[in-house]
Structure 1
Amino acid sequence: MPRLSKYIIAACSMAAAMLAASCTMIQDSVDYCPTGLYVRFVYDYNTARADMFKDHVGHVRLYVYDEQGQKVAERSVSNTAASAPLADYGYALHLDPSELRPGRYRL
């Protein structure tokens, strides 16, 4: 029985050492913390019943209106020969928090 207690003490010591070392693995970095409004476009109203947005859309213009019907933001994105952001699956247009105050909007 004393031999078993040696193993239990050794196991507890190792667990305590691992627990103390694990605290150094926790990182509290918020350098990249995206905020704002992300609008994702989907074109799935087609005969293929699949999202064909990246294959069929080359230009998007988004208008944002407040509750009073005033246009508060406008954004355009186009594919070009040098860059084709709309061809990426799951493309989302980003509006920064500095562009829109918290509230209700129509897109």
Structure 2
Amino acid sequence: MATQNFKLFLGCLGNGVTVCNSAVMENGDFKMVAHISVEGKITWYVSEDYPPADALASIRACAEQERVKHQAWLDSLSPAARREYELEHLPLPEFLQELRKAREAKEGA
């Protein structure tokens, strides 16, 4: 994509960072490019070759900043609070498996 058709826009809406191309409008809003979770994971809505190299580097740098910030926050939690957070964010099948393990350990004790 030509550089003049791409203008990087990063917006924080409370659930991570929304990555848009403000040079292109879709449905009355900036074109969505990606989302960076608070954990620093990038979910792409376009192919990774869509943004120019400098914008791609900025997106990846932002994701790394979010990852480092999140890890520092996790490290500041007590072991019990960290475990609680981890359990709350497990996918349901993994959470149920953890519950089964805990029940088996309790019954075996």
* Structure with bigger gyration radius: 1
**Does the TM-score normalized on the shorter chain lie above 0.5?**
no
Which structure has more helix as a fraction of its residues? 2
**TM-score (norm. length: structure 1):** 0.25
Which has the bigger relative contact order, CA under 8 A and spacing at least 6? Answer: 1
